[in-house]
């Protein structure tokens, strides 16, 4: 099995200097690439000087996460792509459990490892944790992370199991599947494009897995922190994109209506917290969604849509009303 580790970079010289050595040290026999999104710092020079074995894929512009990978992966030949953030520290045995999973689970097209917090190493990290899920309204969350609540890793998610979406911070995907799906949707630019990719994969009969025997540590927030209004904008808008594209038509329209209402509630809540920029970000997310609705609707998959994709009816209700903070307390209703 030929694996290519591809790290997307944009002005991340400091991150590459800090975390690239662990990737090189613990990825013997694997091709390592850095896909550079037209950086203006010393990233490329640093790699050339210190890691001459790493291949640089030079993109002509900063097209974000989605376009950056789509452009770069066109010239990468491998059985499996590992899409890895530049702020991830890998561990000594991170690749072997993934290889075994692809061998033992032929139906697995996409896999993610356990994602732990680099700064609080005993806790799960926000972006991916122990595997991604969504509720009936399309809100994404993770085992080990519900909204801002992060669980301590006590071995409760050391299993291997099917999940709904795998994080783009460290995602393994069969190259033939990536190409069949057309890669990431570039209209997303960044954030939740991996949710859409996994959703489309499952609509075509592929499966997504989490392998707890493989661990990596993620710094997180290196591009946009969780509290950045631009991230709020992208998350709210892109979630509506995914619902439009990936649910049966009648159900999609119902869920979109409910989401627009709940997004309004979220905007009011931000106002009550004096976070006016986040409220404006939600408004702008809706305006962008309206302007691109026809385009998104035309992208709907021409295959049967999956059923019973959700773990709970409303993660918002469970968390904010019933104060559920851990995945294993959720009950599918």
Cα 49 to the chain's mean position, in Å? Answer: 31
Does residue 18 form part of some domain?
yes
At residue 89, the pLDDT reads 98
Domain that holds residue 187: 3-218
* pLDDT confidence of residue 225: 58
Q: Is residue 12 domain-shared with residue 78, that is, in the same domain?
A: yes
Residue 105 and residue 146 in one domain: yes
* Mean pLDDT value of segment 143-155: 95
Q: How far apart are CA 199 and CA 240, in angstroms?
A: 13
pLDDT for res 330: 84
- Between CA 112 and CA 118, with CA 114 as vertex, the angle to 5 degrees is 120
Whether 319 is in a domain gets the answer no
End position of a domain, from candidates 167, 196, 218 = 218
Domain termination site, one of 218, 243, 267: 218
Q: Calculate what percentage of the chain has a pLDDT beyond 70.
A: 97
- How large is the average pLDDT for residues 69-78? 97
Do 198 and 246 lie in a common domain? Answer: no
Q: Decide if 321 is inside a domain.
A: no
Say how many domains are in the chain. 2
Same domain, 158 and 37: yes
What pLDDT was estimated at residue 308? 80
* Per-residue pLDDT tens over the stretch 246-279: 999 999 999 999 999 999 999 999 999 999 999 9
Same domain as 188, residue 74: yes
Mean pLDDT (the chain) is: 94
Residue 167 included in any domain:
yes
Distance CA 235, CA 71 (A): 23
Residue 327 included in any domain: no
What gap in Å lies between CA 233 and CA 44, rounded to an integer?
31
Same domain, yes or no: 179 and 213: yes
- 158 & 209 share domain: yes
73 and 145 inside one domain: yes
pLDDT of residue 226: 63
SS3 labels along 139-158: CEEECCEECCEECECCCCCC
% of the chain exceeding 90 in pLDDT: 90
Does residue 314 lie in a domain region?
no
Residue 98 pLDDT: 98
> Does residue 145 sit in the same domain as residue 269?
no
Q: What CATH number should be reported for the domain holding residue 75?
A: 3.90.550.10
The per-residue pLDDT for 307 is 80
Give the pLDDT band of residue 282 (cuts 50, 70, 90). very high
End-of-domain residue from the set 167, 190, 218: 218
- Is residue 154 within 8 Å of 138, Cβ to Cβ? no
Do 194 and 165 meet the contact criterion of CB atoms below 8 Å apart? yes
Tell me the per-residue pLDDT of 9-37, one tens digit each, with 9 for 90 and over. 999 999 999 999 999 999 999 999 999 99
Q: Does residue 107 sit within a domain?
A: yes
With a cut of 90, say whether residue 170 has pLDDT above it.
yes
pLDDT digits (tens, 9 = 90+) for 95-138: 999 999 999 999 999 999 999 999 999 999 999 999 999 999 99
- 308 belongs to a structural domain: no
Tell me which residue of 203, 168, 213 sits closest to 189, measured CA to CA.
168
Domain match, 118 and 25 both = yes
Q: How confident is the model at residue 331 (pLDDT cuts 50, 70, 90)?
A: low
214 and 100 co-located in one domain: yes
- Verify that 164 and 207 share a domain, yes or no: yes
Q: How far apart are CA 192 and CA 65, in angstroms?
A: 10
- Summarised one tens digit per residue, pLDDT across range 177-232 is 999 999 999 999 989 999 999 999 999 999 999 999 999 999 986 555 567 899 99
């Amino acid at each position: 099995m030929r694996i290519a580790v591809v790290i997307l970079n944009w002005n991340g010289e400091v991150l590459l200097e800090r975390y690239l050595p662990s990737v090189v040290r613990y990825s013997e026999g694997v091709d390592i690439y850095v896909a550079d999104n037209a950086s203006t710092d010393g990233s490329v020079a640093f790699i050339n000087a210190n890691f001459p074995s790493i291949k640089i894929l030079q993109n002509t512009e900063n097209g974000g996460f989605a376009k950056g990978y789509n452009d770069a992966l066109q010239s990468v030949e491998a059985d499996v792509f590992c899409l890895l953030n530049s702020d991830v520290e890998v561990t000594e045995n991170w690749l072997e459990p993934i290889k075994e999973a692809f061998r033992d689970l032929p139906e697995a097209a996409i896999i993610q490892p356990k994602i732990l917090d680099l700064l609080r190493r005993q806790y799960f990290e926000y972006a991916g944790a122990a595997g991604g899920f969504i509720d009936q309204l399309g809100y994404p969350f993770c085992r080990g992370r519900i909204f801002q609540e992060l669980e301590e890793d006590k071995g409760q998610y050391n299993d291997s199991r099917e999940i709904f979406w795998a994080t783009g911070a460290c995602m393994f995907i069969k190259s033939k599947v990536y190409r069949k799906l057309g890669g990431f949707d570039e209209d997303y630019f960044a954030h939740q494009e991996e949710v859409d990719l996994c959703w489309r994969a499952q609509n075509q009969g592929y499966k997504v897995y989490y392998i707890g025997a493989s661990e990596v540590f993620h710094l997180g927030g290196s591009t946009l922190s969780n509290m950045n209004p631009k991230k709020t904008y992208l998350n709210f808008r892109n979630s509506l994109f995914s619902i439009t594209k990936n649910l049966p038509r009648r159900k999609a329209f119902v869920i979109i209506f409910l989401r627009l209402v709940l997004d309004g509630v979220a905007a009011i809540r931000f106002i009550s917290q004096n976070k006016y920029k986040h409220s404006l970000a939600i408004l702008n997310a809706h305006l962008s969604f309206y302007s691109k609705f026809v385009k998104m609707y035309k992208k709907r998959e021409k295959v049967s849509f999956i059923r019973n994709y959700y773990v709970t009816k409303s993660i918002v209700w469970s968390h904010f009303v019933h104060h559920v903070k851990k995945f294993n307390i959720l009950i599918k209703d």
